[in-house]
Amino acid sequence: MRRIAGRRDLEKLRIQLLKQTPSSRPCITISSGTCGRARGSEKVGQAFREALRKHGLDGKVTIRVSGCHGFCQAEPHVLVHPEGIFYQRLRPEDAEEIVVQTLLHGRIIDRLLYVDPATGKKSVYEGEIPFYKRQQRNLLASNALLDPTSIDDYIAIGGYTALAKALTTMRPEEVIEEIKRSGLRGRGGAGFPTGIKWELCRRSPGDQKYVICNADEGDPGAYMDRSLLEGNPHSVIEGMIIGAYAIGASYGFIYVRAEYPLAVKHVGIALEQAREYGLLGEDILASGFDFDLKVVRGAGAFVCGEETALMASIEGRKGEPRQRPPFPVQKGLWGKPTNINNVETWANVPLIINRGAEWYASIGTERSKGTKIFSLVGKINNTGLVEVPMGITLKEIIYDIGGGIPKGKKFKAVQTGGPSGGCIPAELLDLPVDYEKLAEAGSMMGSGGMVVMDEDTCMVDVARYFLDFLRDESCGKCLSCREGTQRMFEILTAITEGRGKEGDLELLEELALVVKETSMCGLGQTAPNPVLSTLRHFRDEYEAHIKYKRCPAAVCKELISSPCQHICPIGTEVPVYVALIAQGRFAEALEVIRKDNPLPSVCGRVCHHPCEAKCRAGEGGEPIAIRALKRFATDYGLREGLEPQPSRGPGREEKVAVIGSGPAGLSCAAELAKLGYPVTVFEALPVAGGMLAVGIPEYRLPKRILQADIRAIESLGVEIKTNTALGREITLDGLFAQGYKAIFIAIGAHKSLKLGLPGEEAEGVLPAMDFLTAVNLGKKVQLGPRVGIIGGGNAAVDAARVARRLLRDGEVTIIYRRTRAEMPAYPEEVEAALEEGIAIEFLAAPVEILSSNGKLEGVKLVRMELGEVDETGRRRPIPIPGSEFTLELDTLIAAIGEEPEIPFQDGQVRVSKWKTIEVDPETFATGRPGVFAGGDVVSGPGTVIEAIAAGKVAAQSIDSYLRGLPLTREYRLTRPSVYIPPVELSEEEVIQARRPAMPLLRPEERASNFKEVELGLTEEQAIKEARRCLRCDLETKEGKAAISGRAVEAGRA
Amino acid sequence: MNGMITLRINGLDVQVEEGTTLLEAARFLGFKIPTLCYHEGLSPYGACRLCIVEIGEGKRARLVSSCTYPAEEGLVVRTHSERVIRARKMLVELMLSIAPNSKTIQDLASELGVQQVRFEVRNEECILCGLCVRMCAEQMDARAIGFVGRGQERRITTPFDMKSEACRTCGGCIYICPVCQLRCQGPEAPSAVCGSCLQLEPTCLEAYDDLMCYMGPAGVCGTCIRPVPDELRERERTKVKV
């Protein structure tokens, strides 16, 4: 084999190689790193070879098996050259189609193109894909240009020219100077300036010096070094030879984890080839410089990524750090000066030598230069390796490149720097990513792992997870690290299991600080970071676990039992009633529902079911149709005449007044009645039910259903007085004077917000609540044939669908300033509205109401576009200047929100600037003794189930108040009252199990009447769906004990 | 090569030979720094972290183990700053929580005023200071024992947990052990911290059962056996654990 004898010889070889394979020659590049192979890229490659043979293209088309291109989400994928067409998620069957259609006929295959999930736009070329567009792939781009097992490929794209340049035209000091001026800093995490490290090592006295490449990439979720070693090993080797020349080292090691077999293989091949070409060994490029390299495989200890431990491991000792100083550049391997850099740092070196320090220093921020590769993983749409210039914001990485959070969930935090890094919260999304800024935010660059977390991630659990990793991986030498990580882990475990106690957080902080300060090496010094950063940014989550026994993300098993029950504001025992339905025990299921919920039939129809959003079955598939199952049970009760058994506690004398008969008021009244209090509910309107009666249209919640629930509450002894309003017929003082001992104010939020636009007073402009109330009360409402509704919430959709039903031939248009994805209304409601022929004008906002002679004529709208992501994780709508247009209307309904109307003034009952009543959030007590308030009048417009919860809690507070007890709340772990044995499913049933579609009236049957649209599940559907429940309530220690027979189903044994 | 270095410890300037550690320099000046895994006759290891001192000034001040840190020209060292004391107390609390039976550790706790243990107590016989390993290797030239495992799995044993041919049962390891050698013999103290130190059986029997002590079959050498008065043993048995 030929040895390359100098710079000119290398250039000659390069030109010769380019001639052999001109860039115009067709080539199929298959991304085939470890991840690609795991997704089947080798089979796809084989299929291509066969297809080419079959169609006589053998030898005319190159197949290049390259390393990873970084876009994990699209694996396995290929680039078809010379055009560079990008086909993704290929199966072996697709190969022949690509050969025939694209290679032979020059046609692009639409179905294999990448579709951006955010915009639905297709991309033909790699560069068009948003994931790639915002990146600057100085290092990673080469992966797609070469076969890592071919040194010729590397030389053809200019490989080893930097080495030739350095060896033949630069003195070692000049090389060091160039690296220093480039501003390159160590990519392993600590960010020490590379040039200075080299200089220190060069100046360190010693006849023998070493260079080491740290490829012990151990952070969970970080794999950029693997990708470089697998996909472009020569770039790392070239960097190391240049470094060795600059430092004066004659031998080097690549310390790579044995768990990276492909990287080990490719590096091994590359070293062999480099030696054959005279690029390694004696007299490199005939320059007189000698240097050789050896691969050492690490045994998988995380701590061996620490440089002193790594060197101990290379020397054959236990991988255990020692104190620095002396630093490796002074006393390293076998006591000799040693320079350690990580894979990515070495790979940057040839670029800097070739293109110059100025070019490199022009990228990035003042103190962090160049690009950095991040592995973007976790709850993110585009998983993959991302190479970006330093200083890019987290927001750009997560939203523009990463495509945001899957399933429209809310971004919570991003963990950077691996297990010993920290979590950065949503408030800091604008943070520019560089060494200093990340450290200021309590995290670090680390090797570049970025784990994205959404609302379903519990930050305490995250801290516990990382501490579990670290206590395992601590070498155990330092007491502080070994015991400190163990004790932090124990405290975190106790908190996540509901055993947290006061003082735990202070102890955690105290311990974390000591571990950080007193540990010997980087592992121990950074191990507390996950604890400290989550405590700093998410202390409220810790407190929720300890004080309220709540896990806001519904993750910590021993706290939450099942997420559905935990997340339900009233703690409905969902797994119990679902399990009972699965066994056909419907009446018992109904009893379980009624036990906690005074308005079960209502909730079976209109609850916003937060339980389904957190359902475990929804993580990999579709959540259980919990609301539909509840409705099934309550409908069963109505059909079978199963009246609730009124259970009243021992009679008490103190009279309680409840003002408002919405869900909060009714629930409070029912709860108090059960405790034995005489309760009177005062309602301003002629009907009881509040928003349930007048806000929600008949077709969603039939009046007879609401009546059934109200009747049940009345049967408890609750008296409801309609047409009696606070501030009109009754007053707070008056009620106390009449002998009421406590008052609960739950008058809701019924006043629609004004649009705040010129011309709003025109005739034909209606507030949504006035409109819905009038229709629900059977009053006649004048609607023009052309109706517009402004807003995107449920009130807007309700108003639109009611208007649709009133106007057989009219046009109904909803005007919303964002897109459908951001609409706060329930998706099924939006879908139903569209089915009923309602138009939705997305990305439009009103600027002026047009009228003549005081009569509405239309509305002037401006077109919006989505701009930057705001703190809610949604893109902010921005008006497009000059895009105004007019929509002619006869009626305009304003549905942009509601607020309470407080019809009284009381020195002690304080009202906030949002016109809500201020209460103690734990007890719902107002400033006036004996007066409590809850529901929408306190929270602003909320959901039915939250109002019910407020009513129930207030009832407990009122009970305590009337008994003269302190108004405190007791918080307990979420648990079902009984463990129902699970049902057994056949394998076939598991495969076929699907969430049933709710049977609906067809649009033509419903669009002009107020018949209930949802028809409810059949018995067969309900049982089948209930059987699909994963029964995660049985995963707690108690649950497991219960089904393993150590405990029996209470009362049913 | 061996020039003199001037550094400042607790405000006092001191000249030491190059290669001197901070611990040696501080002790030379008479400052008492507690140590556990340090022994003059053995190479420094830096495992127990008790000998930490604060070096540097302002924002860049940090804690290092003085037994392993070489004296540097102009270095400013504080051996008993508030930060150092706070950290030492936590370290002793951690040690106590693992090995409350050790007199050495109990004494350290008293000296530093550690009055509570906020972690779940484990009764372990070893705090992995590594003195025995270094003793065996450096003074006895035997290398019969060493560390195995990481994190909580870390322990000291012979290769493959088998009787070592290299072991000459010299007893050096037991002689130097700060935890199992010295056991509190005093009366039961009133505080919760110092209550459980009256278990005075041969420790190797508990730790190694019928397997191996470093010295051979458990209990054979007799080195670690201490007489236990019967009434004390009885009281120990009936006592409720803290």
Q: ipTM of this predicted complex? A: 0.85
| Predicted pLDDT of residue A831 | 93
Residue A960 at interface with chain B, using a CB cutoff of 8 Å:
no
Overall residue count recorded for chain A in this entry: 1053
| Predicted pLDDT of residue B115 | 86
Q: Which positions in chain B touch A490 (Cβ < 8 Å)?
A: 119-120
CA distance A870 to chain B (A): 35
Interfacial A residues in 431-490 facing B (CB < 8 Å): 471-480, 482-487, 490
| Predicted pLDDT of residue A552 | 94
| Predicted pLDDT of residue B1 | 46
For B150-172, write each residue's pLDDT tens digit. Answer: 999 998 888 888 877 888 888 88
Identity of residue A457: T
| Predicted pLDDT of residue A556 | 96
Residue range(s) occupied by CATH 3.40.30.10 in chain A:
7-133
Q: Do B91 and A479 touch (CB under 8 A)?
A: yes
| Predicted pLDDT of residue B223 | 45
Residue A573 at interface with chain B, using a CB cutoff of 8 Å:
no
Nearest to B52 among A484, A487, A518 (CB): A518
- For A514, the closest chain B residue by CA position comes to B87
| Predicted pLDDT of residue A1044 | 82
Identity of residue A833: A
| Chain A interface disruption, residue of B49, B104, B114, most A CBs within 10 A | B49
For B102-128, write each residue's pLDDT tens digit. Answer: 888 888 898 888 888 999 988 787 889
Burial A122-137 (b: 16+ CB within 10 A, else e): ebbebeebbbbebbbb
pLDDT of A419 > 50? The answer is yes
Q: Which overall architecture, per CATH, does domain A371-559 show?
A: Roll (3.10)
| Predicted pLDDT of residue B2 | 62
Residue B231's pLDDT band, with cuts at 50, 70 and 90, is: low
- For A325, the closest chain B residue by CA position comes to B69
Comparing CA positions, the residue from A213, A212, A209, A249 lying closest to residue A331 is A209
Mean pLDDT of A377-383: 93
How confident is the prediction for chain B on average, in pLDDT? 78
A655-750+900-962 fold: FAD/NAD(P)-binding domain (3.50.50)
Boundaries of every domain in chain B: 4-80, 129-238
For A986-1024, write each residue's pLDDT tens digit. Answer: 999 888 889 999 999 999 899 889 999 999 999 999 999
CA distance B54 to chain A (A): 10
Q: For A125-134, A509-518, A564-573, A653-662, which range has the lowest pLDDT when averaged over its residues?
A: A125-134
Report strand pairing: A765-767 vs A891-894.
Answer: parallel
Interface size A-B, in CB pairs within 8 Å, comes to 96
CA distance A475 to chain B (A): 5
Q: Look at the block and give the residue holding tokens 């932090």.
A: A488
Residue A727, burial from CB neighbour count under 10 angstroms (0-12, 13-18, 19+): middle
Residue B212's pLDDT band, with cuts at 50, 70 and 90, is: very low
Task: Report which of residues B181 and A525 the model is more confident about.
Answer: A525
| Predicted pLDDT of residue A1008 | 86
Overall residue count recorded for chain B in this entry: 242
A7-133 fold: Glutaredoxin (3.40.30)
Superfamily of the domain at A151-361: NADH-ubiquinone oxidoreductase 51kDa subunit (3.40.50.11540)
pLDDT of A584 > 50? The answer is yes
Task: Report which of residues B137 and A418 the model is more confident about.
Answer: B137
Residue B228's pLDDT band, with cuts at 50, 70 and 90, is: very low
Instruction: For residue A926, give the DSSP letter.
Output: -
Nearest to A471 among B72, B83, B152 (CB): B152
pLDDT of A530 > 60? The answer is yes
Interfacial B residues in 196-235 facing A (CB < 8 Å): none
- What's phi and psi for A24, nearest 5 deg? -80, -10
Measured N-to-C along each axis, helices A827-835 and A794-806 cross at an angle, to the nearest 10 degrees, of 20
- For B117, the closest chain A residue by CA position comes to A507
Q: Which positions in chain A touch B126 (Cβ < 8 Å)?
A: none
For A70-107, write each residue's pLDDT tens digit. Answer: 998 899 999 999 889 999 999 999 999 999 999 999 99
Q: Which overall architecture, per CATH, does domain A755-896 show?
A: 3-Layer(bba) Sandwich (3.50)
| Predicted pLDDT of residue B180 | 58
Cα(A1019)–Cα(A250) distance, integer angstroms: 79
Q: Which positions in chain B touch A475 (Cβ < 8 Å)?
A: 150-151, 154
Comparing CA positions, the residue from A449, A489, A497 lying closest to residue A471 is A489
For A729-783, write each residue's pLDDT tens digit. Answer: 999 999 999 999 999 999 999 999 999 998 888 999 999 999 999 999 999 888 8
Q: What is the CATH number of domain B4-80?
A: 3.10.20.740
| Predicted pLDDT of residue B101 | 77
pLDDT of A445 > 80? The answer is yes
| Backbone φ/ψ region at B189: left (φ over 0), alpha (ψ -120 to 50), beta | beta
| Predicted pLDDT of residue B229 | 45
- For B150, the closest chain A residue by CA position comes to A475
Q: What is the CATH number of domain A568-645+979-1043?
A: 1.10.1060
Residue A306 at interface with chain B, using a CB cutoff of 8 Å:
no
Residue A305 at interface with chain B, using a CB cutoff of 8 Å:
no
pLDDT of B188 > 70? The answer is no
Cα(A470)–Cα(B57) distance, integer angstroms: 30
Q: In what order do the strands lie in the sheet with B12-17?
A: B12-17, B4-9, B76-78, B52-55, B62-65
Q: Look at the block and give the residue holding tokens 């372990």.
A: B124
CA distance A323 to chain B (A): 7
For A165-190, write each residue's pLDDT tens digit. Answer: 999 999 999 999 999 999 999 998 88
Residue B28 at interface with chain A, using a CB cutoff of 8 Å:
no
Percent of chain A with pLDDT over 90: 85
Q: Which positions in chain A touch B153 (Cβ < 8 Å)?
A: 476
Secondary structure element (H or E) that encloses residue A347, with its range: helix A343-355
Q: Do A517 and B127 touch (CB under 8 A)?
A: no
How confident is the prediction for chain A on average, in pLDDT? 93
Q: Look at the block and give the residue holding tokens 């987290």.
A: A394
| Predicted pLDDT of residue B22 | 96
Mean pLDDT of A432-451: 89
Q: Write the secondary structure of B146-206 as one string of H (helix), E (strand) and C (coil).
A: EEECCHHHCEEECHHHCCCCCCCCCCHHHHHCCCCCCECCCCCCCCCCCCCCCCCCCHHHH
Residue B20 at interface with chain A, using a CB cutoff of 8 Å:
no
Q: Do A483 and B94 touch (CB under 8 A)?
A: yes
Interfacial B residues in 72-131 facing A (CB < 8 Å): 72, 83, 86-87, 90-91, 94-95, 97-98, 118-120, 127-128, 130
Identity of residue A633: A
For A876-932, write each residue's pLDDT tens digit. Answer: 899 999 999 999 999 999 999 999 999 988 889 999 999 999 999 999 999 999 999
Q: Give the pair of three-digit tokens for residue A898.
A: 């509601």
- For A476, the closest chain B residue by CA position comes to B151
Radius of gyration of chain A (CA): 34
pLDDT of B191 > 70? The answer is no
Cα(A430)–Cα(A395) distance, integer angstroms: 6
